[in-house]
């Protein structure tokens, strides 16, 4: 559970259904078996990850695929990740890096 990596890559470019969306998150972030595959469970597991005080770098690929299949899903995911950076009065702002890739463009979430 939560095996440290310098960079976690969530590649959604080839997902076909909603089940694969959360399975990708679970597998690539090394979430525990009890991960509930919903937004609340994502938040709970992410906050457990940053609580160990190791730098966290998450790269999201295939955001345009998610946006086409499930509008607003990328917005929700980005909001959760923004909240993570600023959780506990910005305590993790410097040790959490999130990048999202839309086609050829790369954006860092602030």
Q: Label residue 82 left, alpha or beta by phi (over 0 means left) and psi (-120 to 50 means alpha).
A: alpha
Among candidate residues 12, 19, 42, 27, the one with its CA nearest the CA of residue 102: 12
pLDDT of amino acid 103: 82
Domain 8-108 bears CATH identifier 3.50.30.30: no
Using pLDDT thresholds of 50, 70 and 90, give the confidence band for residue 91. Answer: confident
Quote the CA–CA distance of 24 and 79 in Å, as a whole number.
19
pLDDT of amino acid 52: 66
List, in order, residues 6 or more apart from 108 with CB less than 8 Å away. Answer: 97, 98, 99
Prediction pTM value: 0.88
3-state secondary structure of 32: coil
pLDDT of amino acid 49: 86
Report pLDDT digits (tens) over 25-79: 999 999 999 999 999 999 999 998 887 667 889 999 999 999 999 999 999 999 9
| 1 pLDDT above the threshold of 70 | no
pLDDT of amino acid 4: 80
Parse the chain into domains and list their residue ranges.
8-108
| 88 pLDDT above the threshold of 90 | no
């Amino acid at each position: 559970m939560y095996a440290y990596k310098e960079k976690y890559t969530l590649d959604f470019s080839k997902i076909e259904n909603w089940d694969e969306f959360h399975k990708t998150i679970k597998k690539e972030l090394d979430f525990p078996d009890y991960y509930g595959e919903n937004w609340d469970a994502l938040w709970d597991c992410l906050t457990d990850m940053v609580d160990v005080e190791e730098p966290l770098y998450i790269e999201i690929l295939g955001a345009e695929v998610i946006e086409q299949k499930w509008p607003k899903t990328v917005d929700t995911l980005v909001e959760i990740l923004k909240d993570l950076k600023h959780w506990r009065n910005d305590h993790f702002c410097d040790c959490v890096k999130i990048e999202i890739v839309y086609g050829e463009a790369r954006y860092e979430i602030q």
